[in-house]
Structure 1
Amino acid sequence: MRALALAIALCAPVPALALSCLAPSVDRSYAQFAAAEEAYVVIHGRLKLDMSEMPDGMTRPPRMTRVPARLRGHSLNALGFEVPFNRQITLEVTCLSQWCGHVQTGDDILAFVRKDASGYALRVTPCGGSVFGSPEPEAREQVARCMAGRGCP
Structure 2
Amino acid sequence: MKIPHLTIAACFAASIASQASALLCMPPSLDQSFDLARDAEENYGIFVGSVDVSEEEVKQLSKDGMTSFETIAQFSGHSLFVDGLTPPFEREITVRVDCMGEWCGSASDIDDAVFFGKIEPSGAVEFMSTACGGDYYDASKENIAHLTDRIQE
The normalised TM-score by structure 1 is 0.79
Task: Pick from 114, 120, 124 the counterpart of residue 129 of structure 2.
Answer: 124
Deviation at 1:11, TM superposition (A): 3.8
Q: Distance in 1 between matches of 2:132 and 2:45?
A: 20
The normalised TM-score by structure 2 is 0.79
For the residue of structure 1 that corresponds to 2:134, the secondary structure is coil
Note the 1:75-94 alignment, pairs <5 A.
Answer: 75-94=79-98
- 1:41, 1:114 within 8 Å by CA — same for their partners in 2? yes
Equivalent residue pairs, number: 144
Q: Percent identity?
A: 28
Q: In the alignment, residue 86 of structure 1 is paired with which amino acid?
A: E
Note the alpha carbon deviations across 1:105-132, whole angstroms, 9 max, x for none. 1432210111112611111111123322
Q: In the alignment, residue 39 of structure 1 is paired with which amino acid?
A: N
Runs of 4+ in 1 over 6 A off after TM superposition: none
- Structure 2 match to 1:48: 52
- 1:70, 1:89 within 8 Å by CA — same for their partners in 2? yes
Give unmatched runs, 5+ long, in structure 1. Answer: none
Give unmatched runs, 5+ long, in structure 2. Answer: none
For the residue of structure 2 that corresponds to 1:14, the secondary structure is helix
- 2:97, 2:107 within 8 Å by CA — same for their partners in 1? no
- Structure 2 match to 1:139: 143
Pick the structure with more helix per residue.
2
